[in-house]
Each structure stands twice: as C-alpha cells, then as structure tokens.
C-alpha cells in the first residue's frame, strides 16, 4: 500500500435520505430512517476494518447519525454553510488535511473490506474512482496522495469523474459497486451478503 487513505463519508439527514428507496419500507418514516442509517453504519464499519484506511469521518447535520457514528468511534463534521454533496465533501477533505483523501458513498451495505482494500491498491498513486454497478454513478473517489479530491458527484458522476481525469477502477468488487438507491439494489445487496445493521433493519418483504 503506497499511502494510507482518510475517507470522508457523506450522510444526508435521515428524514430526507434515500427517497428512491421509500417504497421498500412501505412509506413508514421510522423504518425508512432506520434503514438509511443502517446502510451508512454498515458502510462505515467495513471501511473502518479495511487495511489502508487510516481514518473515517462522516459529514452530516443529523444528530442521530452523528451519535451512532460516535458509538463506532467515528467523528462527524457538520455540513458546511454551502449546501450540496460536493460542497460537503470538499469541506470534509479540507478538514482532513494533506494526506491521501477519499470519498466513499454511505449506501454500500454489502461492502467487503477486502474489496475496498483491493480498490485502494489498484489506484496506486493516481486520482481514481470506482463506478457503481450500472457504470453511471460513483461509489468511491480517491485523490492522488497530497492532491485535490475535486468531487463531481451528482447525476452521471462516473462520466464527470472520468472527464476530469480520474482513472476508472473496474475490478471484481461487486460489494463496492452495489450502492443501494432502489428496492432492486437492495435485493441485489441481500444476495451479496448484507452487513449486520442493514440485515436487522430489513423490510418485511425480504424475509
Ligand atoms: N452530507 C451530505 N450527504 C449527502 C448529501 N446529498 C447526498 N448525500 C449522501 O451522498 C450519498 C449519495 O447520495 P444518493 O445515493 O443520491 O443518496 P440520497 O440523496 O440519500 O438518495 P435519493 O434521495 O434517492 O437521491 C449518500 O450517502 C447520501 O447520504 C448532502 O447534501 N450532504
Ligand atoms: C450521488 C451519486 O450516485 P447515485 O445517486 O446514483 O447513487 C453519484 O454517483 O454522484
């Protein structure tokens, strides 16, 4: 491993998160918030267990998220004044400082540490990204050591990261590429093997 990585994990306020997944929990806001939190907890737990990851911080203005992350030993930074995902990530990267920085999406409930470690190693010293399984979104963006993260998340982010010069990493890492946006994604993540938090927060239709 060339350089250890400090990861920023953005987590939206639970009441506004994962709107495309609303049908999975039958419209019940309490179950929905619990599921959104569980996705983030499993993502962060796997990241914490990954060799090559030095530090994980979340960016969130949700006190419930910050409190659960603190129980995992993870610091949460509040959102910056400027709204939006990329602004939150830039704020996290600035706070983490001059090491090697990465952004990991918080909706990877099947994430395996070995797959994240393999992606970090495949990046070498390059600014790089891992597209989601559809090839359109981004699940992981890595700055070069000491370099800028330059996040371009949002619709079609994989294309934007590629155009900005980041190298696409396309290894055999299904758990790292399976972000959960929809019920279909959740079904696939279930077949890959969910982390314990999400397994305990699953909606009734999965059992
Ligand atoms: N801190 C922070 N995190 C964000 C923000 N927008 C999105 N995220 C997080 O970024 C990641 C990717 O976002 P999406 O997959 O679009 O998740 P989402 O916005 O909760 O889902 P939808 O409502 O279905 O679009 C998730 O981990 C979100 O929690 C934001 O404005 N601030
Ligand atoms: C937010 C993103 O992805 P999605 O909403 O598709 O998960 C993204 O890739 O920038």
Query: Domains (ranges, CATH) in the chain?
Result: 5-201 (3.90.550.10)
**181: Cβ below 6 Å to ligand 2?**
yes
Distance from the alpha carbon of residue 125 to the mean position of ligand 1, in angstroms = 27
Give me the interface pTM, i.e. the ipTM.
0.97
- Residue pLDDT, tens place only, 102-138: 999 999 999 999 999 999 999 999 999 999 999 999 9
**Measured CA distances, 92 to 85, 108, 119 (Å):** 11, 19, 21
| 154, 162, 168: residue to mutate for ligand 2 pocket, most atoms within 8 A of CB | 154
pLDDT for residue 192 is more than 70: yes
Minimum-distance ligand 2 atom for the alpha carbon of 152 = 10
67 is in an annotated binding site: no
- As given in the structure block, the two tokens for residue 117 are 């470690």
Minimum-distance ligand 1 atom for the alpha carbon of 36 = 20
Q: Beta strand pairing status for 138-142 and 100-104?
A: antiparallel
pLDDT confidence of residue 45: 98
């Amino acid at each position: 491993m060339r350089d250890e990585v400090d990861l920023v994990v953005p987590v939206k306020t639970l009441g506004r998160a994962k709107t495309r997944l609303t049908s999975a929990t039958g419209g019940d806001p309490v179950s929905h918030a619990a599921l959104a939190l569980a996705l983030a907890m499993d993502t962060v737990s796997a990241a914490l267990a990954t060799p090559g990851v030095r530090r994980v911080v979340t960016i969130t203005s949700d006190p419930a998220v910050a409190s659960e992350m603190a129980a995992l030993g993870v610091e949460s930074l509040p959102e910056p004044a400027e709204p939006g995902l990329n602004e939150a990530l830039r704020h996290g990267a600035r706070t983490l400082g001059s090491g090697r920085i990465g952004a990991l999406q918080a909706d990877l409930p099947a994430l395996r540490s070995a797959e994240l470690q393999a992606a970090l190693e495949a990046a070498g010293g390059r600014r790089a990204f891992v597209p989601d399984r559809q090839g359109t979104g981004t699940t992981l963006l890595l700055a070069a050591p000491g370099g800028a993260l330059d996040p371009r998340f949002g619709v079609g982010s994989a294309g934007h990261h590629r155009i900005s010069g980041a190298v696409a990493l396309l290894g055999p890492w299904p758990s790292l590429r399976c972000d959960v946006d929809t019920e279909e994604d959740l079904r696939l993540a279930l077949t890959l093997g969910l982390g314990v938090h999400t397994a305990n927060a699953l909606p009734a239709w999965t059992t």
